[in-house]
Structure 1
Amino acid sequence: MSVTKRSLPKQAATSRERTMVPVFKLFESASSEAPAGGLRRFGRFCSVFLGGTALSSAATVALAQGSGGAAVKLFSSTEVVVSSLVVGALGAALLSAVWLVRQRGNMQAETQEMRSALSDAQQRISKYEALIAEKNRRIVVWESGPSKPEFLGQLPPETGAPQQDRDFLAFGRWLRPTSASDLERAIDLLRGQARSFDMVVETTRDEILEVQGRVSGGKAFVRFIALNNLRAELAELKIERERLTHSISLFHSLLDAIEQPVWRRDAGGKLAWVNHAYSEAVEAPTPEKVVEEGREFLGTIARQKIKVMATPASPFHDRVSTVIRGNRTVFDVVDVVVPAGSAGMAIDVSEAEAVREELKRTLKSHAETLDHLATPVAIFDGERRLQFYNQAFVQLWDLSHPFLESRPDNSELLDKLRSDGKLPEELSWRSWKDTALSVYQALDTKTDTWHLPNGQTLRVIATAHPQGGATWVFENLTEQVDLETRYNTLVRVQGETIDHLSEGVAVFGPDGRIRLSNPAFRALWGITADQAKPGTHIKAIEAACAPSYDSQDGWRRFGQMLTNFDDERASLQGTFELYSGLILDYAATPLPNAQTMFTFVDMTASARAERALKEKNDALQKADEIKNDFVQHVSYELRSPLTNIIGFTDLLKTPGVGTLTERQAEYIDHISTSSSVLLTIVNDILDLATVDAGIMQLNYSEMSVDDLLDDVAMQIADRLHESNVTLEITAPHGLGNIIADQQRVKQILLKLLTNATNFAPEGSSITLTCRRDKTDIFFSVSDRGPGIPQDMLKTVFDRFSSNSKGGKRSGAGLGLSIVESFVTLHHGQVTIDSRTGSGTTVTCRIPSGAPAASIAAAE
């Protein structure tokens, strides 16, 4: 068996070298970055791992090479490599297990140490928090960067500091505004630029806190410390001192910047401080030079006067004259005295006084001018109070002078006008008033229209003053709006009227061109709207109308009338006969502004209508004559037989004729009563017919009212007895005489009394009341009957309108009609007052004097 020597492949050696290089590099990296303990443990692991790998590799190489240089082929190169890797992996796993066991023990020991250290740290933190968290101190801690703050401790509640963490940093809610702004600025600088601070702040409860800001370990600490009494008092004094120092410096700067001389004296009366205006007034280079040299601004007499009059309770205030730069000037001097000295100020009022006087004269002149204006004006000052008003304003709103002189506020004035019902009713009064009063903040003039409840329309012009206040001007547009509305309505009505007229209308201007025409004009002449459109010359109109009629003179005369230069333009009238059979009446009427209106009336239809009306009128007159003749004839023919019947009935009642049986006597009574009623109706109809015909004349005579009432009472007595009704006459003594138709007046009263007797209940009474005034006499008849329903009151005076419901007898319904006719003939008036269930009262007013001539009835 031959043994062949073969060296390891070069490629395998190279692979081992590649495998070992990263492991050594990993060791170097771990040794440079890991901590000391971990580095040592990792080094041991790598050494064992590399040692095993090296041994296996060496064994593999030794087995591969034979002794004495002879190569024995026991394993192949691949088997050697695989065996080396397996042996190395087993060694590495063993060593890793040993290393992990030792590492676990080390980690448990370190964990125990860390827990002990954490417990100690927590105990120290609790001790520190207990030391910090006292009731007079609170600490706010911010981590670096944006983070939520941490709060430690609390401040006493009496300081006003919030106890809740979320409210504590809202410094503006519990600190004074100045302290809050200064503290927020200091905290921003502390967190942003690590700038420490120490300051004292005031709470809203006037408590003092000391605030310290520090930076430590990348954290910002702000401590709020509630001071004890002594330290708080010291801090308050410090704050007060700083405040007074700033105030004095501010007031010195302010007084030094104004143009009025200001000075301050010590207790001995010497100048201690002056401003620049004082030094300029006494012509000194600097205020210090004035104090050093003691230059006085006022004269000796003025200073002595101030010294005598000025007291701590009553400062000196008066006008003082002095010389400034060679000019006599008047100053308004104010000097205040205190135990430590005095201070004064002088205001140059020379120019102001002249301006004030000029302003007074100007305002007086303007007030007089505005007071004579017919336009209402009201001026309000900067406080919105009424400063001026003219008489037109008083008349417009009808306000009392005491109220206006009290200088009411503008809002108060509007409320007063609204409560009096003089302003328009608005759905949102507050919004409307705020809009009206916004003129005080407006830059431009505001104009509004008010429609008042009394029907007036006002244009309200409100202008704000640059110095405050506003001027209100109320322009009455009622007449203007009314005229404008009426004009617009008139124009529309005229246009509609002209367009709907049956007469043709055309209006031409002085240049001979048509201005307007209506459809009737175009229809009568048979021309189109385009031929008669506005602006068409009369020559074209003449040519368009020429085929409609025979004569050419009409339109030619129209053209001559439009274009002539006569001072007075005469009217033209005439008639056109058209080929169509129409007859047109024309009229040319001059209008203002040198215009001329032509009207054309279709007389054909008018003539036909006139003939028809005449025929109808003749027929009506003939019918009326026939009616009057019929009434008179029938009345006469009825009256004669009725008179005979009544006469024979009365004759049958006489004992000389013979004795009648009871039934015959009853029949005779019925005949007599019916005949009397029928005669009354016939007489009434005849009277009404006479009145309607206009032929009734009144026979005026002078009669005594007392005799008239007695006569009427006697004539109605039988009727009252039959109805079991009594009559009460109420009339003052000495009513005097009346000039009237005695028969007709008596007939009026009898009709009223008969009507009242018919409706009065049995056993009741009716009242006849008579009174008179300077010119008229009044007769009133009242009953206690059922009354007249309201829906029938309008028809009680109608003829043959009978309301027999509730009455004892039914009639023809002519009584009240005759009363109204006779009273009207006397130029009087009849009124009726009735309510259902309350009776009826009829009142007649008759003039007591005679007319100048005999009065004839008119239809």
Structure 2
Amino acid sequence: MRPAGFRKPTGFLAFSTAHLALFAASPALSAPLTSASVASAAPYAIALGAAGFGIAATLMAVKWRRIAEAAHRRSTDRLGTMRAALDDFETLLSGMPEVTIIWKDAGLEPSILGPVTEILPGETRPEAVLDFRAWLETGPAKDLADRLTDLRIDGRTFEISVPARDGRIIRAAGRLIGGTAVVRLRPSGATVEPPLQGDALTRIPSLADAQAILANLTIPAWLRDKDGLLVYANAAYLHFTRSLGLKGERGTAPDIFDVKTRERHIRSLEDASDTIALTEEHATAGKLDLVLFPLSGGSAGYCYLPQARPQKAEPERTEPDLGHLTTVIDALATPVAVFDKGRRLTHYNSAYAEFWGLDVDWLNTEPDERAILDRLRTQGLLPSEPDYRDWRAKHLMSYALTAPRETPWYLPDGRCANVIAAPATGTGGVIYVFEDMTERLALETRHNALMHVQRETLNALTEGVAVFGTNGRLKLHNPRLSLLWKLPMNALGNHPHIDELTQAAGETFPEDGARIWRELKQGIIDLNPTRSDTKGRISRSDGRLLDYAIVRLPDGQTMMTFVDVSESANYERVLKERNEALIAADKLKDTFVQNVSYELRSPLTNIIGFADLLASQEVGPLNERQRTYTEYIRSSSANLGLLIDNILDLATVDAGIAQLNTSVLDIETVVEKAKAGLSAASSGSERPVDLEVHIARDLPSFVADGTRIVQVLYNLLSNAARFSDPGARIWLDVSARGDRIVFTVEDEGVGIPEDMRSAMFQRFEGQSVEGRQRGAGLGLAIVKTFVNLHGGTVSVDAREPRGTKVTVIVPANTQAALNAGE
């Protein structure tokens, strides 16, 4: 009995189980395991393992093969289904009474589906439907070919009805589906009567259809098969051959041309692929005018009998011979070429040879036009066309023209030629005129680009622009004009008269719109040649301010511009008021500073007097701490007095009343006064410094304001002391540089960062460096002010490795320098 969940081993598992049982049942293998027994059993184990692996691999390969075969059967079945569906679709298309032409690629032959007999009765070749001239009239065939070209190149769809040669109406519809050009041709059931007169014979679609038409002609006509053998001749042809005494073999109609002449005709038709007209010299009948045209399965032709040729008109009505125009053609600078009805070059001028770069000797051989086109294409001078043969065939249709035709040729070398093809009256040929349009197109392109830029520039202007002609009508405008005066653009586009604009402005702005434009009208209609341009400002009732300008243009027209300056005028008014307020505040500040500074000097004088009295100990002895406090009072009072003096000095300079009291100075005395001021200001200070003074010898006589120079040196020294460590050294050097005196103050303090140097000489710029406040920020401002009064300069530089260097350069004779500057 099997336990629950037991399954019979299958496949490789069953095989392995059987081998294990065999292994266990073998007496040799079931013996107790020893080293010798293990060694003897190893080959068996390896063999069994290899056999098991091979069997497993075989089973897996069989399984994969079955899966692959099943997939192959499914693919084959699906492919068969798809082929059957495709056959069904093709059968359906073939059963439909229409022909479908599919161009999957411009360089490949198209696929043609459907019964061709619906379009060409009796025709079995699908490609025959592509020969439009075989079953359509010349005009509809060309129209359909042109539409097909536009479809394949530009993707232009079409749906037209064209008359077939047998009288039926064919519906032609072209579409671009997924990049593939598809054309459907379907008979509509309607018919028209085919024309049977004149040159309609050149449009016979097939031999069977042509026979019915040729039978009605009164001139000799015939049909030939594709080998050139005569297969049909009408009654006029038979009568003509009998009059010539020609007889055919075994009752057939005789051929009026020999074998070589017929072969030449066939080659000419194959090269032309269209109707040709030529003249043949017959041994018996004389000169015959022939017209040959290709047909489906052969060709047809007819000729004029010697007595049946068109009679010449009266001499006074005869068209002039083209040969008479040779002299005129040669004198023209425009390239001209004349081809006869056989497409041979008969006349050309030197401009034609130069334009195309053709050899004159070769042109004198009267080459065929096709040979000329082929040579030009080889030289890369013709327009780039994907289908050259089709393009050439369309061009050679010029020989069937009844009126001039113009076609632009865009040549690869950048030139553009307007090709005018006109029928040569009386010769059956074509006259080509090649008009070089390159310069004109370039001028038009530049003109259009200039006009485009002008229009875009005009539209982008923030000014409203209006240009009026001499008749008072609006010639040019931009959208800004419509926006400023709230006039509709469509009304402006109708070139209204200025009176109409005046009326429209009156409706938009009833209060003053009409009045404003009536005043502006006077500047527009004034045609006085001496009148000048005018400008002004308009204050409109809606609160807007418009600046206008009326400018007379060189061509007599008048341009008017409007600029909305409402916001700028408001800004100008606000700025003007603010400027006036700032000026008043500045004057008030100066007055306040002067008054306060003078008021501060009285109590400050009392403080300094009493501090000096206490320091002199006339009122009693002071202990050490009292003396220290007294020195602090005297030092702070001196600094405060100096600050007040600085403020008064700056106020005096700002008021423009500062003057220099120049005199001859002793530089050593000036330096000593500055040192004394520094010592007085630093008395009682915890930051004494070591000042070293170096005065050069042979200094020139120094003429300056001694008080100002002392104040400059004092401010520089005190500024250096403020930023120096206790006991640090400060250097003051005085030297000469030409006719100038140079004062240099150097310290080894913390230095001034580069980004703060530009603000050092600004007033009230009290920045701190490494926690050290520079004070009220007036010291260096005073230095710069007084040095500038003397006509000198101040510069600040970093000192290596530490510290700052300030250089003051003033003229040695300040009074003379200032007089020379004035």
Q: Shorter-chain TM-score: which interval?
A: 0.3 to 0.5
- Highest Rg: 1 or 2? 1
Taking structure 1 as the reference length, the TM-score comes to 0.37
